[in-house]
Amino acid sequence: MDSRNIEEYKKREEGECFPKNLVVRKEYSFLKIDQRNYWLHGDILLLETGRNEKLSRSKASVIVLEIAHFLDKGTLYTKGKYKVIEVFMMMKYILKDMSE
């Protein structure tokens, strides 16, 4: 599952953006244009989509709780909710030290 960077929030619905602070056991809503299919029988990785469709490393492990498809003014959407199971720490400083 991927979600847009919050910097693009002004151009997008809140549910289309990656939350600023992920909290374990908290539920979040999401909204995607087009029909999407998600695994519902276990956890999946949450990624952040940046500019130019570039995907981040895994940010968290989540469980998709519910999804629904709907049409709005002829555009197909997928919306739903997911629950954060684990948040992964970003270790940029460690990777930088290892490369030196």
Q: Cα–Cα–Cα angle for 70, 74, 77, nearest 5°?
A: 35
The average pLDDT across 42-61 equals 88
End-to-end CA distance of the chain: 33
Q: Does the predicted TM-score (pTM) go above 0.85?
A: no
SS3 of 28-86: EEEEEECCCCCCCCCEEEEEEECHHHCECCCCEEEEEEEEEEEEECCEEEEEEEEEEEE
CB atoms within 10 A of CB 46: 26
Mean pLDDT for the stretch of residues 71-77: 96
Alpha-carbon span 62 to 86, nearest angstrom: 7
pLDDT at 87: 93
Match 């492990």 to its residue by tokens. 61
In this predicted structure, the answer to whether residue 11 has a pLDDT above a threshold of 50 is yes
